[in-house]
Amino acid sequence: MKVSKRAKNVPASATIAVTARAKELKAQGVDVVSFGAGEPDFDTPDYIKEAAIEALKAGQTKYTAAAGIVELRTVIAEKLKRENNLEYSPDQIIVNIGGKHSIYEAMQAVLDPGDEVILPTPYWVTYPEAVKLADASPVIVQTDRANSYKITPDQLKGAITEKTAMLVLNSPNNPGGFTYTPEELKEIAKVLEGTKVVVISDEIYEKLIYGDTKFVSFASLSKDAYDRTLTLNGLSKTFSMTGWRLGYTAGPVDTIKAMARLQSHMTSNVVTFGQYAAIAALKGPVGEVVERMRVEFERRGKYMAERLNSLKGVQCPEPTGAFYCFPDVSSHYGRNINGTIINGSVDFAKALLEQANVALVPGLPFGCDNNVRLSFACSLEQITKGLNRLEKWLGQ
Ligand SMILES: Cc1ncc(COP(=O)(O)O)c(C=O)c1O
């Protein structure tokens, strides 16, 4: 059957490709250590599951408004006020089918053919594909390790043209594991003043921050930032609910209405009983749920970064957010390891998986071929085992 040019041009997600090969090897009985996961290794808390079961039993099994039930949008508005110092009314909020859908739909609602979207490296793999699906062009801005891979105000200034329609910010960052400080975000907000650039602020990892890191929502920085920002978040990471597909977007009424119109023809509402579970999640003991997971991630991330930095030719900033280490391994490029010449992050990941049975994700699809991504959403025992293997493999 014919396949559209649009579909042909979308590559499969690189993160999924590595996970699939690791699964294949596991199915053959190989003991693979996987650092590929993009989801917490904790279960969804019981009180959330119970709320979904209760909603099902109460007959919450029919269509709702495309943008989501008003009770949920009200609870999200309260959350944004309480935790993020953001004032949104329920009609400024839409519930989407995961944060990934929020990104796709926000871009469909804002972008026109020919528009440019600034994506600082490293960027989450979905961003450039969602930009292209909206017939716009990604403008990739290379950042430096010296600045922990964050875009500087000057780099941003240099990238803005009259075609720039959007900037995507993701803090805490996947795959970089860094978090912008409030001061850094204020500098970025200043550069944007007087422009028409819309900001997507992807805040999905907001609760997973470490050490003395402070999280601030971009839209809360000033009236100007508020007016130009679509604040994007979801329940996947905070509540270990990746499979539930619950995300949301908050922003100017007209943009949210445009997203709702698109959504009404694409997917309609998010699963109805899931929306009731989301109310319970956001109203529940959020601090407790998150803290348990956060403390564990912090311990693992610290250990992983320390071990990585002790490896010859590997440099890794300690993660301040999310659950990823993103070391620079490029000093090993050009080497012949067990008969394989390592010519970049893809070769590195492939050879490591096949030869030492450790799965990680190459940095190339995130725009950083010098790096690889290791998720620490797995036990400390697995982390130790995998890093021992990596150490031995690199030492050959
Ligand atoms: C940076 C970033 N944004 C958004 C998402 C979307 O998550 P979901 O679609 O599960 O809500 C992810 C998931 O990996 C992510 O890493």
Q: Whose CA is nearest to atom 14 of ligand 1?
A: 38
Closest CA to 198 of 162, 158, 152, 229: 229
- pLDDT at position 15 is 65
- pLDDT at position 37 is 81
Contact 212, 197 (CB under 8 A): no
Angle at 239 between CA 234 and CA 240, to 5 degrees: 100
Mutate to test the pocket of ligand 1, among 76, 237, 249 (most ligand atoms within 8 A of CB): 237
DSSP-derived pairing of the beta strands 372-375 and 324-325: antiparallel
343-362: average pLDDT: 95
* Residue in the block written with tokens 């900033």: 317
The CA distance from 275 to 280, in Å, is 9
- Each residue's pLDDT tens digit, 308-327: 999 999 999 999 999 999 99
- Cβ contacts of residue 131 below 8 Å, gap of 6+? 107, 111, 117, 119, 137, 138, 166
Rounded to the nearest angstrom, the distance between the alpha carbon of 234 and the centre of ligand 1 is: 8
Mutate to test the pocket of ligand 1, among 19, 204, 245 (most ligand atoms within 8 A of CB): 204
- pLDDT at position 190 is 98
Rounded to the nearest angstrom, the distance between the alpha carbon of 219 and the centre of ligand 1 is: 19
Question: 236-251 b/e with 16+ CB inside 10 Å = b?
Answer: bbbbbbbebbbbbbbb
Is 50's pLDDT higher than 80? yes
- Sort residue 272 into left (φ over 0), alpha (ψ -120 to 50) or beta: alpha
Split at pLDDT 50, 70, 90, the class of 41 is confident
Is 39's pLDDT higher than 90? no
Rounded to the nearest angstrom, the distance between the alpha carbon of 38 and the centre of ligand 1 is: 8
- pLDDT at position 106 is 98
Pocket residues for ligand 1 (CB within 6 Å)?
A: 38, 98-100, 124, 170, 174, 202, 204, 234, 236, 242, 247
- pLDDT at position 166 is 98
Rounded to the nearest angstrom, the distance between the alpha carbon of 380 and the centre of ligand 1 is: 23
Mutate to test the pocket of ligand 1, among 124, 233, 249 (most ligand atoms within 8 A of CB): 124
Per the structure block, which two tokens stand in for 359?
């799965």
Rounded to the nearest angstrom, the distance between the alpha carbon of 187 and the centre of ligand 1 is: 25
Split at pLDDT 50, 70, 90, the class of 373 is very high
Percent of all residues in the chain with a pLDDT value above 70, rounded to a whole number:
99
Rounded to the nearest angstrom, the distance between the alpha carbon of 318 and the centre of ligand 1 is: 21
Q: Whose CA is nearest to atom 4 of ligand 1?
A: 99
- pLDDT at position 12 is 76
3-state secondary structure (DSSP) of residue 379: coil
Is 33's pLDDT higher than 70? yes
Atom of ligand 1 nearest to the CA of 234: 11
Closest CA to 384 of 291, 292, 299: 299
The CA distance from 321 to 54, in Å, is 34
Q: Whose CA is nearest to atom 15 of ligand 1?
A: 174
- Each residue's pLDDT tens digit, 252-307: 999 999 999 999 999 999 999 999 999 999 999 888 889 999 999 999 999 999 99
- Each residue's pLDDT tens digit, 152-207: 999 999 999 999 999 999 999 999 999 999 999 999 999 999 999 999 999 999 99
The CA distance from 137 to 383, in Å, is 38
Split at pLDDT 50, 70, 90, the class of 14 is low
Rounded to the nearest angstrom, the distance between the alpha carbon of 375 and the centre of ligand 1 is: 14
Rounded to the nearest angstrom, the distance between the alpha carbon of 378 and the centre of ligand 1 is: 18
Rounded to the nearest angstrom, the distance between the alpha carbon of 204 and the centre of ligand 1 is: 6
- pLDDT at position 219 is 98
Atom of ligand 1 nearest to the CA of 202: 3
Contact 372, 393 (CB under 8 A): no
Q: In what helix (H) or strand (E) does residue 164 lie, and over which residues does it extend?
A: strand 164-170
Is the pTM value of this prediction over 0.85? yes
Is 118's pLDDT higher than 90? yes
Closest CA to 349 of 333, 361, 331: 361
- Each residue's pLDDT tens digit, 68-114: 999 999 999 999 999 999 999 999 999 999 999 999 999 999 999 99
Split at pLDDT 50, 70, 90, the class of 225 is very high
Per the structure block, which two tokens stand in for 322?
């999310």
Q: Give the burial class of 23: count Cβ atoms within 10 A of its Cβ; 0-12 exposed, 13-18 middle, 19 or more buried.
A: middle
Rounded to the nearest angstrom, the distance between the alpha carbon of 90 and the centre of ligand 1 is: 23
Mutate to test the pocket of ligand 1, among 76, 178, 236, 240 (most ligand atoms within 8 A of CB): 236
- pLDDT at position 22 is 87
- pLDDT at position 161 is 98
DSSP string covering 193-216, please?
Answer: TTS--EEEEE-TTTT-B-TT----
Contact 148, 99 (CB under 8 A): no
